[in-house]
Amino acid sequence: MRHLLNPLDFSVEETGQLLDLAKDIEENLPKYSHVCDGKKLATLFYEPSTRTRLSFEAAMLNLGGSVLGFSSADSSSAAKGESVADTIRVLSCYADICAMRHPKEGAPLVAANHSSIPVINAGDGGHQHPTQTLTDLLSIRSLKGRLNDLTIGLCGDLKFGRTVHSLINALVRYENIKFILISPPELRVPEYIREDVLKANNIEFMEMDSLDEAMPSLDILYMTRVQKERFFNEEDYIRLKDCYILDKKKMKLAKQDMYVLHPLPRVNEISVEIDEDPRAAYFKQAKYGVYVRMALIMTLLEVK
Ligand code: CP
């Protein structure tokens, strides 16, 4: 039995196979409509979510399976003090696979250690979000035709943004990837990403404040929201929340074949005026999330 807790749980080869399966699902959706007949997915969401939870549910329904779960800690027995370990032991009796989002880093790992069904980390605190990473990899590969030889700009809250941490971890395994890390000094990537991931893998990267300066070099711009829920101090959040706003003026500085991704939800960091720009790919990216989660469920349940 396998879990997905970290994007590195799958080798580059396994990730490639999963992305190939997701692509085939996109092109031949009806072919997969019964492969999970009789199987159940539990969605255990202790934190809010729109895309991740509902795309997991759509994925399992598309595969012919069914779904059960909760969408907030308050509506589960966590509100009465039940531990993650006990919850997963019980859910293992009700479902065949589960996706868990939790505000505490490492909670899905605790669940996996007590589970008899595959556990998928659907986002743990400011730590990792591996299924968003698979979605991002599928999006980049579909839009650019490759996962190597790319200059990737990551912009916004690089400190608390778990999607950023997961994506950097995954992309350093491909050839000739360069990063431009655009953030205010307070929201730079954590030290372990800089030292143990980027420097340890000899990855070329720059840290800068100016999005305008970075724009002309980028093949992909990955915008992120300033993570209000991870700030200890509201004043700091208010000061930093609108530090970058991608608008038409900034898009004029970019290459014609540069694509903008965003894990969503967005707040103000991408102006709606660029939604119709053909390079704005974030809603397409959200759609890829369903195909990639279908492929992941099939892979972990070992169904064909
Ligand atoms: N991208 C993402 O994780 O979105 P949700 O928080 O809506 O699930």
Residue 22: which pLDDT band, with cuts at 50, 70 and 90?
Answer: very high
The pLDDT value given to residue 228: 79
Residue numbers belonging to the annotated binding site for carbamoyl phosphate: 51-52, 101, 129, 132, 264-265
239 vs 25, which has greater pLDDT? 25
The CATH number, out of the four listed (1.10.10.10, 3.60.90.10, 3.40.50.1370, 3.40.50.300), of the domain defined by the range 7-128+289-301 = 3.40.50.1370
Pocket test for ligand 1, best of 55, 264, 270 (most atoms within 8 A of CB): 264
- Which residue minimizes the CA distance to atom 1 of ligand 1? 263
Q: Quick one: average pLDDT of 110-138?
A: 97
The pLDDT value given to residue 233: 84
The pLDDT value given to residue 121: 98
Q: What is the pLDDT of residues 140-198, one digit of tens each?
A: 999 999 999 999 999 999 999 899 999 999 999 999 999 999 999 999 999 999 999 99
The pLDDT value given to residue 197: 97
The pLDDT value given to residue 242: 83
Listed as own residue / partner, the contacts of 105-114 with beta carbons closer than 8 Å and 24 or more positions apart are 107/46, 108/3, 108/5, 109/5, 110/84, 110/85, 111/44, 111/84, 111/85, 111/87, 112/3, 112/5, 113/85, 114/84, 114/85, 114/88, 114/89
- Which residue minimizes the CA distance to atom 4 of ligand 1? 51
In this chain, the answer to whether the domains covering 7-128+289-301 and 130-285 adopt an identical fold is yes
Any idea where the domains of the chain sit in the sequence?
A: 7-128+289-301, 130-285
Residue 12: which pLDDT band, with cuts at 50, 70 and 90?
Answer: very high
Q: Which CATH class is domain 130-285?
A: alpha beta
Nearest atom within ligand 1 for CA of residue 50:
7
Mean model confidence pLDDT for the chain: 96
The pLDDT value given to residue 182: 98
Q: Which residues line ligand 1 (CB under 6 A)?
A: 49-52, 123, 132, 263-265
Residue 112: which pLDDT band, with cuts at 50, 70 and 90?
Answer: very high
Q: What is the pLDDT of residues 227-253, one digit of tens each?
A: 777 777 888 888 888 889 999 999 999
Residue numbers belonging to the annotated binding site: 51-52, 80, 101, 129, 132, 162, 225, 264-265
List the catalytic residues: 51-52, 80, 101, 129
